Structure 1
Amino acid sequence: MHPIPAVAGLLLIAGPAFAGTWTCKVPYDEVNGGGRVTIADDRMVFISDWPHRDPEILTCIRTRLTSECMSADLLANRHGGASVFTKLYSIVWQEEGGPPTTITTRQISAIFEDHDDGYALAGAFPGIGYTFPVTDCDAE
């Protein structure tokens, strides 16, 4: 068995300090409506203040100080094709183990038409991207 260097041992002990779940407020804006977000290493849940929006539940993958989260919807359209709507979120965590201060999102959508034995891309829309702040975070 090999001895563990002191620095590696400290990192192993400090690892849990970087993990955790945070619930933060999202200030109102015209895109997301404001609300609250719960963020963990492997999951993000956004609950809007707008009553007509369902909660968004996203699966995340964390690598060091960055979590990448994604949700996607595939819907059939009236002409036998399909529409795809994807939301990608990037969360940068603080080195000291605190909550993130902002979340960046990119929203991509495309329409596919029924074509012979599959689908053909009929239109892709420019991705919408923006960053929104998170405030008043509480650790769970």
Structure 2
Amino acid sequence: IYLVIRNHGEARSKEIMKRLGVSGPSVTEALQLLAEKKLVNYQPYEAITLTPEGEEVAKDVLHRHETLRDFFIEVLGVDAETADKGACKMEHAASPEIIERMIKYTHFLNYECERCGNKREHGFTEFLQQQEK
């Protein structure tokens, strides 16, 4: 919802349904649940908006998603599509401590790579190729 609003200025059930690839009743049910939790303002056939609390939750989820996706791509060498799908599945389960540790670990690896000549990506790629033999 947050990304739809950010990209289009507003969110409607149809756009959410299309973006997530789910049915209309599924979107309606989810929106009703989010409205009960006071995370969205939802009325059928009206534009959907986030409450201030909903916006904070959405920003946190997006931060988790981007951190996981970037870790999968930059550290593990996973392709972007696989990384994005994996991040979607894990973003709600990873604690703030895990997310923060992943960020620090990525910074550490980048720091170490600068010190030792940027061998991280090549070294891990070579290791994976040898493991597959």
TM-score w.r.t. the length of structure 2 is 0.25
Larger helix fraction of residues: 2
Identify the structure with the greater strand proportion: 1
Name which structure has the greater RCO, CA cutoff 8 Å, separation 6+: 1
The alignment's TM-score, normalised by the length of structure 1, stands at 0.24
